[in-house]
Amino acid sequence: MVIENCFNGNPQPMGIHKATDCDGQELWFEWSNAPWYDVDENIVGAIIQLSNITDAVNNELELNKKELFLQQQAEISKIGRWEYNIAENQLIWCETTKAIHEVPQNFSPNIENALFYYKEGHSRNTISMALLEAQNKGKAWSNLKLQIITAAGKEKWVMAGGKPIYNKGEMVGLIGTFQDIHEQVEANIKTIDNEKLLRTLIDNLPVNVYIKDTESRKVLINKAECEYLGVKDPKEIIGKNDFDLYPLKAAEKIREEDLKVMNTLEPIIGKETKKTTLDGKSTSFLSSKIPLLNSKGIAYGIVGISLDITKLKEKEKELRNIINIASVQNKKLLNFAHIVSHNLRSHSANFSMLLNFLENEKDEDEKTKIVEMLTKASNSLLETLDNLNEVVSINTNTNIEIKELYLNEKITDAKQGLSSLILNNNAIIENNIPEDFTVSSVPAYLDSILTNFISNAVKYKHPEREAKVELSAEKKDNYSILTIKDNGLGINLEKYGKKLFGMYKTFHDHKDARGIG
């Protein structure tokens, strides 16, 4: 058809033809034709010119593929392109850039209205300065996170970048990218807000909160944990493990517990623990440890929650002491009631009997003897009441201020108070206590203890030897131990050991023994 038209004087100026060579390779040719005239202007043939354009066609196809790929990539990543020709003052936006601005595809942008889309204030000022420096100083810009207001009135976050292009050393334009990052920024803002909410929450909880990684390194701690560890900034603790914060044995125990939780995936809830920091600070906690699991169910750390119960434990100890004191006082009260009942009943029976004798007696001499007996009974009752009053005074004394006392000074005071008794009985008091030995005690109680032990040892000495009292003292396990030894009659501890310090308990036949000293 082409040759026929050429022979008829209607040549086709140019065409492209696809062919296949003997190796099966695809070839592209560009051809042109023209009639061939003789001297009489008759068409006698055709002149055909062929050019192999296979490389050019393949390059064009490859370029089209890349253009399509870039277009698809731009749509997926929401990255648009733009170009600005300085000489023609022409700005070109690609389809993606127009879509980000929400303008129609036939929209023709220019520098002025392009800048107008940037939100007034920081964003517009920043991009204007970037364009100015690019044109005047040849300075490129990238990763500018800015806000625009689209043609539809929506606020969007975008990432802008651009740079100058040159031809033979002369700036001829600008090119750049324009990415829609609104969803990403909004997600980041939401994440930051959630992190702030979480931080506000955990920092205001009345418990210690921390998160550790698989190596038991702290990756998050709250304000209460900072205060417990004695730091102001969490950065001072982040990255440290328990071996950096606690004594070796304690750290080994904590690490073993952490590994157990992460390996078994079984949490520890409400376990009472006691921690001592490197500076010696000891604190009681009610602790919980919960494994943190990834999407595959593997532990990548633990979250720990600890409630400081130190003050609660102290109150519990105080309450236990009060209960113990109340129990002891109750037993003393029962014992005291029993003694009062027994003693007063004995005296009342004695009075009743003597008064009955006096009423029925006729003999004046006998009456006189009975009156004397009533007088003795009265004196005995008064003595009993005095003794009971002394017991009450001891057991109800609330002025029990404990002081640090030099023991030797108190022993000297006791010896001076008993000097007459010691001298009259030729007693020997051997004091082996160091001069600087101190004890924590109620002064009146210590005076009473020393006076009663020494006086009893002298008064109730063995009849066949002079009294000798030895005093010594030592410190052991935070206690002061006072030892008083004498060479008197001794006490059968197997028989009387449990009654040794009971009221009105005496263990020898001494007329002046009352059992309350």
Alpha carbon 370 to chain centroid, angstroms: 84
Helix (H, G, I), strand (E, B), or coil: what is residue 157? strand
Work out the mean pLDDT of the chain and round it to a whole number.
82
Residues in the chain: 517
Question: Predicted confidence band at 400 (pLDDT cuts at 50, 70, 90)?
Answer: low
Reported as type and span, the H/E element at residue 330 is helix 310-360
The pLDDT, as a whole number, for residue 506 is 53
pLDDT top residue among 18 and 227: 227
Q: Among 14-28, 96-110, 111-125, 220-234, whose mean pLDDT is lowest? A: 14-28
Compute the distance between CA of residue 291 and CA of residue 48 in angstroms, rounded to an integer: 83
Helix (H, G, I), strand (E, B), or coil: what is residue 490? coil
The pLDDT, as a whole number, for residue 448 is 76
Predicted TM-score (pTM) of this structure: 0.46
**Burial of residue 137 (number of CB atoms within 10 Å: 0-12, 13-18, 19+):** exposed
Tens-place pLDDT, residues 470-484: 999 999 888 899 998
The pLDDT, as a whole number, for residue 259 is 95
Which residue stretches of 138-240 are H helix?
A: 182-203, 223-229
The pLDDT, as a whole number, for residue 260 is 94
Enumerate the domain spans of the chain: 2-52, 79-186, 207-308, 314-395, 403-499
DSSP of 408-425, one letter per residue?
HHHHHHHHHHTHHHHHHT
Residue 449 pLDDT greater than 60, yes or no = yes
| Dihedral pair phi/psi, residue 491, rounded to 5° | -130, 135
| Dihedral pair phi/psi, residue 359, rounded to 5° | -65, -35
Cα angle vertex 118, ends 115, 121, to 5°? 110
Compute the distance between CA of residue 106 and CA of residue 207 in angstroms, rounded to an integer: 62
Question: Predicted confidence band at 514 (pLDDT cuts at 50, 70, 90)?
Answer: very low
The pLDDT, as a whole number, for residue 517 is 46
Q: What percent of the chain has pLDDT over 70?
A: 84
| Strand partners for 220 | 211
Residue 144 pLDDT greater than 90, yes or no = yes
Fold of the CATH domain 403-499: Heat Shock Protein 90 (3.30.565)
Q: Which CATH class is domain 79-186?
A: alpha beta
Q: Identify the CATH homologous superfamily for domain 207-308.
A: PAS domain (3.30.450.20)
The pLDDT, as a whole number, for residue 513 is 47
| Dihedral pair phi/psi, residue 117, rounded to 5° | -70, -20
Q: Among 217-226, 311-320, 338-347, whose mean pLDDT is lowest? A: 338-347
Compute the distance between CA of residue 34 and CA of residue 269 in angstroms, rounded to an integer: 97
The pLDDT, as a whole number, for residue 516 is 45
Question: Predicted confidence band at 49 (pLDDT cuts at 50, 70, 90)?
Answer: confident
pLDDT top residue among 438 and 497: 438
Domain 207-308 and domain 403-499 have a common topology: no
Query: Do the beta carbons of residue 277 and residue 244 sit within 8 Å?
Result: no
Q: Among 68-77, 279-288, 374-383, whose mean pLDDT is lowest? A: 68-77
The pLDDT, as a whole number, for residue 108 is 92
Compute the distance between CA of residue 278 and CA of residue 188 in angstroms, rounded to an integer: 40
